C-alpha cells in the first residue's frame, strides 16, 4: 500500500459481479474523486466490447491490454479504479495496481455472484456455474492480497462505498496528523 500522504488511488478488486463498477462510481462520488473502469477504458481504446475482444483476439491479448490499462491508471491521482475480475490474479498487473494505491477486495458469496451475473455472454469466463466456481477458488488467494476486504454480498453500493471511505480515512489519518505537527 501507499505510505506517507495516503493513497492516490483506491483500487477495487474482486470477482465478476462483486460490484466493483457500481461501488467504484459511488465511492468516487462520495470522495469527490475521479473514476476509472479498466474494462471500459480497454473497450473505448478498441471500439469493441470485452466479449468481442475475447472472441477476436483471445484472453492473452486481453490480459496484455489489461496490464496496459493498469499502467495508464497508475498515473492518476485522486481516483477510484475498478479492475476487471482477473486483473489481480495476474502477478505483473497486480503489482502495478498495488503501487501507491489502497487496494480493496469486494468479497461476495458465490450464490450472490451467480445471481448478479448477467447471462448475456458479456462475461465469457463465467458462462456456467461450475466454471465460475472453479475460477473463484483459483482467484481467491490473489484477492486476499488486497489491503482491505469489504463484504459486498448484501449491502447496497452506497453503503459499501461509505464503509470503504471510512476505512480509507482511518488508514490516512496518522500521516495527516504527522504533517500537521510540522
**Counting contacts by CB under 6 A, is residue 19 touching ligand S3P?**
no
- Report how far Cα 5 is from the mean position of its chain's Cα atoms: 22
**Counting contacts by CB under 6 A, is residue 50 touching ligand S3P?**
yes
Which one of residues 11, 19, 35, 39 is an interface residue with ligand S3P (CB under 6 A)?
Answer: 39
**Counting contacts by CB under 6 A, is residue 79 touching ligand S3P?**
no
**Counting contacts by CB under 6 A, is residue 107 touching ligand S3P?**
no
Which one of residues 7, 19, 24, 85 is an interface residue with ligand S3P (CB under 6 A)?
Answer: 85
According to DSSP, the β-strands at 148-151 and 34-37 are unpaired
CA atoms within 13 A on the CB side of 88: 30
Which part of the chain contacts ligand S3P (CB under 6 A), choosing from 82-90, 92-100, 141-149, 160-168? Answer: 82-90
Residue with cell 488511488: 9
With vertex at residue 175, the alpha carbon angle to CA 149 and CA 145, rounded to the nearest 5 degrees, is 25
Give the footprint of ligand S3P on residues 124-153 (CB under 6 A).
Answer: 124-125
**Counting contacts by CB under 6 A, is residue 67 touching ligand S3P?**
no
Q: Which residue minimizes CB distance to ligand S3P? A: 84
**Counting contacts by CB under 6 A, is residue 100 touching ligand S3P?**
no
**Counting contacts by CB under 6 A, is residue 84 touching ligand S3P?**
yes
Q: Do 112 and 118 form a contact (C-beta atoms < 8 A)? A: no
H helices then E strands: how many in the chain? 8, 5
| Alpha carbon distances (Å) from 35 to 16, 81, 104, 124, 173 | 18, 6, 15, 25, 23
**Counting contacts by CB under 6 A, is residue 16 touching ligand S3P?**
yes
Give the residues lining the site for ligand S3P (CB under 6 A): 16, 20, 39, 50, 84-86, 123-125
Amino acid at each position: 500500500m501507499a505510505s506517507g500522504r495516503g493513497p492516490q488511488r483506491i483500487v477495487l478488486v474482486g470477482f465478476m459481479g462483486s460490484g466493483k463498477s457500481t461501488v467504484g462510481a459511488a465511492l468516487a462520488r462520495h470522495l469527490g474523486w475521479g473514476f476509472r473502469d479498466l474494462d471500459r477504458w480497454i473497450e473505448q481504446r478498441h471500439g469493441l466490447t470485452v466479449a468481442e475482444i475475447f472472441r477476436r483476439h483471445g484472453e492473452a491479448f486481453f490480459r496484455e491490454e489489461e496490464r496496459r490499462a493498469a499502467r495508464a491508471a497508475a498515473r492518476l491521482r485522486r481516483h477510484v479504479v475498478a479492475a476487471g475480475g482477473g486483473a489481480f490474479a495476474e502477478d505483473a498487473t497486480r503489482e502495478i495496481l498495488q503501487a501507491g494505491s489502497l487496494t480493496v477486495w469486494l468479497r461476495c458469496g458465490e450464490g450472490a455472484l451467480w445471481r448478479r451475473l448477467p447471462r448475456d455472454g458479456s462475461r465469457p469466463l463465467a458462462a456456467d456455474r461450475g466454471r465460475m466456481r472453479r475460477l473463484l477458488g483459483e482467484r481467491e488467494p490473489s484477492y486476499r492480497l488486497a489491503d482491505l476486504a469489504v463484504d459486498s454480498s448484501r449491502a447496497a453500493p452506497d453503503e459499501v462505498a461509505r464503509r470503504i471511505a471510512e476505512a480509507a480515512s482511518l488508514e490516512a489519518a496518522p500521516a495527516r496528523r504527522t504533517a500537521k505537527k510540522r
